[in-house]
Copies of this chain bind each other. A is one copy, B any other.
């Protein structure tokens, strides 16, 4: 059935009749709504919606439905996306030396938990630095970087993203800060995992900062990358309890578990078109 199922996400200025218009369009086109969620941001007056629908036997063609939606979107001034569920997103994974998030994402992909295609794996270190992850059969690219070669290396990343038709870039503990230029090009389709509960402990060595401050919980944050470091729209966060006994090394160890599950959830939400941008924030239509 997946091949007849699509996901529509939209946002527009709120006004009466949006739900009626969308649901009537789909009904009259011979579609059945499988899931729908909506949100009115009363502060900004903006309306957000995600609809999953499938085409029944008597449905109009995929192209006809897409055309009707485009017309409707024009009428309501909607930003929208429409994607067949069967058309999996293509994802480029960037990593440095710590490979626990990379290994986790690859494992979840191998067992079918993450509906994506891996377009490329890129590291600023050679593949034998990533010793604990099974990269067998995956397109690995070693793109080393120095302060001098940063712009050039980013240009190659960007070129590779285009060549591989990458839809999403995931910084899976990639320890380089993207330039403003590349951040802008990847706006809304580049997810980073930061190893702290933002906005606490921005910047470098957050676990050491947390240890220094004596907090009782540590966390991780998955967010879209923007040129404003560690300030991008947050997609998912989680925490775990620690105690005075935990050394910075213990925090790093406990943090790995939080990082990988927070990043995996954020990536899954993005792959399923559950995350809509709302200014500097996100709307996340979870289950």
Interface residues in chain A, defined as those with a beta carbon under 8 Å from any beta carbon in chain B:
16-17, 19-20, 23-24, 26-28, 30-42, 56, 100, 103, 107, 110-111, 113, 131-132, 134, 136, 197-201, 213-217, 219, 233-239, 243-247, 250, 253, 256-257, 261, 278, 280-284, 286-287
CA distance A27 to B34 in the complex (A): 22
B-side contacts of A24, CB under 8 Å: 20, 23-24
* Residues B198 and A214 in contact, CB atoms below 8 Å apart: no
Other-chain contact of A216, B26, B234, B261 (Cβ < 8 Å): B234
CA distance A282 to B214 in the complex (A): 7
* Residues A278 and B244 in contact, CB atoms below 8 Å apart: yes
List 29 contacting pairs A-B, 8 Å CB cutoff, sorted by A. Answer: A16-B32, A16-B56, A20-B28, A23-B23, A23-B24, A24-B24, A34-B40, A37-B37, A41-B244, A42-B247, A100-B111, A103-B107, A110-B131, A110-B132, A113-B256, A134-B134, A198-B213, A198-B215, A199-B200, A199-B215, A200-B200, A213-B280, A217-B219, A243-B286, A244-B278, A244-B281, A244-B283, A250-B287, A257-B261
Chain A interface mostly helix, strand, loop or mixed?
mixed
Instruction: Known A27-B17, A56-B16, A197-B200; judge A214-B287 contact (CB<8 A).
Output: no
* Residues A244 and B27 in contact, CB atoms below 8 Å apart: no
Interface centre among A243, A244, A278 (most CB of B within 10 A): A244
B-side contacts of A200, CB under 8 Å: 197-200
- In the complex, the 9 A-B pairs of residues with the closest C-beta atoms, listed nearest first: A214-B281, A134-B134, A20-B23, A20-B27, A110-B132, A200-B200, A19-B23, A216-B237, A16-B32
